[in-house]
């Protein structure tokens, strides 16, 4: 099987776009027939896959970061963990954490992941959706309700929201990209978002998927 020849220039372009290693870039370009966009997508896919292998590794280092927006009207405090103090001090990691604080301020998530959403909130949403499609076949109801719940989660859960700087990429995918770049597991552990005058507690603020 013939191997696609790739020029050093296009390898350099791919490295600058992805921060991947030279050999990884060469392999991706060879596999994609020299297509830069396809090679970038391939590296991203492989990065996410490799990130999954690191997901069980302990994260006992990291940083707590804050952000104040709108002249003191909105404030964010977030803890993001990694495996080593070396990465915690890395500029790439710190820029990522800063982006997360900006995202939280703008997108107003209520939870890190869907596992944190209280069961009673999920059941309340489910009951609303089932009532809306009452009378349809059971398999259709299940499919519609599942889709509406996914939309609900994507509105209130940080990891499932579209990243504010790239809405086509979820925050979870962004985390996976950073894991691949930095070579360590990264976990957004917790966050708090304050807005002047808002009701206290997540329950009062949680929107229905119908409003998203």
**pLDDT at site 127:** 94
Token pair of 208 as six digits: 């229905």
* Structure confidence by residue, pLDDT tens digits, 66-82: 999 878 899 999 999 99
* Structure confidence by residue, pLDDT tens digits, 101-140: 999 999 999 999 999 999 999 999 999 999 998 888 888 8
Cα(first)–Cα(last) distance of the chain, in Å? 50
Point out the least confidently predicted range of 13-17, 137-141, 194-198: 13-17
Q: 61-116+152-211, superfamily in CATH?
A: Elongation factor Ts, dimerisation domain (3.30.479.20)
What's the whole-model pTM score?
0.70
User: Cβ distance 28 to 43 under 8 Å?
Assistant: yes
Q: Is the pLDDT at 9 greater than 90, yes or no?
A: no
Instruction: Measure CA 197 to chain center.
Output: 28
Q: Is the pLDDT at 210 greater than 60, yes or no?
A: no
Strands 187-195 and 74-82: antiparallel
Domain coordinates in residue numbering, the chain: 8-54, 61-116+152-211
The mean pLDDT value of the chain amounts to 86
Options 3.40.228.10, 1.10.8.10, 3.40.50.880, 3.90.79.10; CATH for 8-54 is 1.10.8.10
């Amino acid at each position: 099987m013939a191997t696609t020849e790739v020029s050093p220039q296009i390898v350099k372009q791919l490295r600058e776009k992805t921060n991947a290693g030279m050999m990884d870039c060469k392999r991706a370009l060879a596999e994609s027939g020299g297509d830069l966009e396809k090679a970038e997508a391939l590296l991203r896919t492989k990065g996410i896959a490799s990130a999954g292998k690191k997901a069980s590794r302990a994260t006992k280092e990291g940083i707590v970061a804050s952000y104040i927006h709108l002249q003191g009207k909105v404030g964010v405090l977030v803890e993001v963990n990694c495996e080593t103090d070396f990465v915690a001090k890395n500029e790439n990691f710190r820029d990522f954490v800063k982006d997360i604080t900006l995202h939280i301020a703008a997108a107003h998530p209520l939870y890190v992941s869907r596992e944190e959403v209280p069961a009673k909130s999920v059941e309340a949403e489910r009951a609303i959706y089932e009532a809306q499609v009452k009378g349809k076949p059971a398999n259709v109801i299940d499919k519609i309700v599942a889709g509406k719940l996914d939309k609900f989660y994507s509105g209130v859960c940080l990891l499932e929201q579209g990243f504010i700087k790239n809405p086509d990429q979820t925050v979870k995918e962004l985390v996976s990209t950073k894991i691949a770049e930095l070579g360590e597991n990264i976990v957004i552990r917790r966050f708090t978002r304050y807005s002047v005058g808002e009701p206290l507690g997540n329950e009062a603020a949680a929107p229905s998927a119908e409003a998203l």
